[in-house]
Amino acid sequence: MTRLWTFSARRGGDIQTSPLTLSWTLPNDAVSQNYPADDLSAFEVFGIWHERLEVSDDLLPLHWMVHEKAEGAPWQLSPRRDDDFLDFNADPVDVETGDPINWLALEVIDGTWEAGDHSPVTSGFIQVATGWKPSPLQPFVSLQALTKAAE
């Protein structure tokens, strides 16, 4: 059963009730949008992504979004500072219990890579090729570890 959260907009005070889940991206993972799963496997797209990735460090930063709101997730380390969910909304509370949200316990959307699938997670090929799924708000992942897992 999907948990529902209630929160109010900081501007205007409109109260909203919605499920809240997290989605993630890695640098240059949008390359997957150029290669449909109908044409290439997750492993093939991983190889293309890896070849085109321009990084100077083994640690790749993850960027987190509150999927339902298309807003940055709060409490993340990021080289850029974007407005996040809490800049626009008050802290959510669970509809049933009234408990405040624990951002580290939110569901992370599964990335997929199947013919005909239109996953909202551009990193789906990475999850399928490596078997790795990040923990909520995980700040970094090792490129070397991902590459080894995709072998």
Name the residue ranges covered by the structural domains of the chain. Answer: 5-149
How many Å apart are CA 151 and CA 142, to the nearest integer?
Answer: 15
Quote the pLDDT of residue 118: 67
pLDDT tens-digit series, residues 86-137: 999 999 999 999 999 999 999 999 888 887 776 667 889 999 999 999 999 9
Strand partners, 61: 140
Higher pLDDT, 1 or 31: 31
SS3 134: coil
Residue 34, pLDDT score: 87
- CA dist., res. 19 & res. 21, Å (int): 7
What is residue 80's predicted lDDT score, i.e. its pLDDT? 59
Q: How much is the average pLDDT of 5-20?
A: 94
Predicted TM-score of the model (pTM)? 0.88
**For residues 80-85, average pLDDT:** 77
d(CA 38, CA 103): 35
